[in-house]
Every structure is written in C-alpha cells, then in structure tokens.
Amino acid sequence: MTSEEKRVYLLLKAVIFYYHGLDPEEKEELEVVSKKLEAPEELKWAVDFIEKDQITSFERARSFLNDIIGDYTKEKRVDLIQMVWESNNLKGYVTEMEATAMLKLAKDWKVEKEFVELILK
C-alpha cells in the first residue's frame, strides 16, 4: 500500500469516526490499524486534517477523497466503503449520522447501490 493509499484509508476511517465525536474504541481502532499498516505519519496527517477544523472536516475530506478515489476501480471504491461500514460495526452499532455520511460518499463514488446492498445484509 502506498503512502497515499494509507492516507486515504486512514482519513476515510477517521472522518467517519469523528463525524459524531471520536469514541475511545474508535481512537483505539485507528491506532491499531495505523500500526498494522505501519502508517503512524499517515494517521497523524489524517487526524491533523480533521482537527484543523472539525466542523468542516467531513466536507473537506469528502472533496479530498473524491479527487483521489474517482480514479480508483469500482471494486476498490466498494471495498473502501465496506471497510468503513465494517469498522463502524465493530462497536456494535452504526449511528444515523455515520450511515448518512457513508451514503453521501457512496453516492459520490457511484457505488450507492452496492453500499445499500451491503447494509441490507
């Protein structure tokens, strides 16, 4: 995985986690994934990106991600949205705000149908 891919992955996870406020379990999940990916700098970058202005972080991240992910294959876009869905389910639930955020990204990435199918499983 390239440094850019690690940034995308970690920013995507982090921005959804931060969407309603970062829980301790979510913070731990980010740290575990960062270690697994050997990406402490990329995680720091993602957290700094969000904490620069938490109020606008989702829209800024959405714009940033759309510029990069538009070039990804459909399969990779589906994999990314699925990863975020599964990460949120680790805590046992997904909030309406998180689901709405993921739905917006899925629509942007033209994988809305696949995302809805994933939710219904």
Confidence band of 25 (pLDDT split at 50, 70, 90): confident
The pLDDT of residue 92: 80
The 3 state secondary structure assigned to 45-110 is: HHHHHHHCCHHHHHHHHHHHHHHHHCCCCHHHHHHHHHHHHHHHHCCCCCCHHHHHHHHHHHHHCC
Q: Can you tell me the distance from the alpha carbon of 38 to that of 72, in angstroms, rounded to the nearest whole number?
A: 22
Bigger pLDDT: 10 or 118?
Answer: 10
In the numeric block, which tokens belong to residue 44?
A: 């720091």
Among 18-22, 28-32, 50-54, the minimum mean pLDDT is found in 18-22
Spans of all domains in the chain: 3-120
Compute the chain's Rg from CA coordinates: 13
The pLDDT of residue 98: 86
pTM comes to 0.87
The pLDDT of residue 94: 84
Residue linked to tokens 């992955």: 9
Residues 39-75: tens digit of each pLDDT: 999 999 999 999 999 999 999 999 999 999 988 999 9
Confidence band of 15 (pLDDT split at 50, 70, 90): very high
The pLDDT of residue 96: 87
The pLDDT of residue 90: 78
Q: Give the closest residue to 9 by CA, choosing from 74, 36, 120, 96.
A: 36
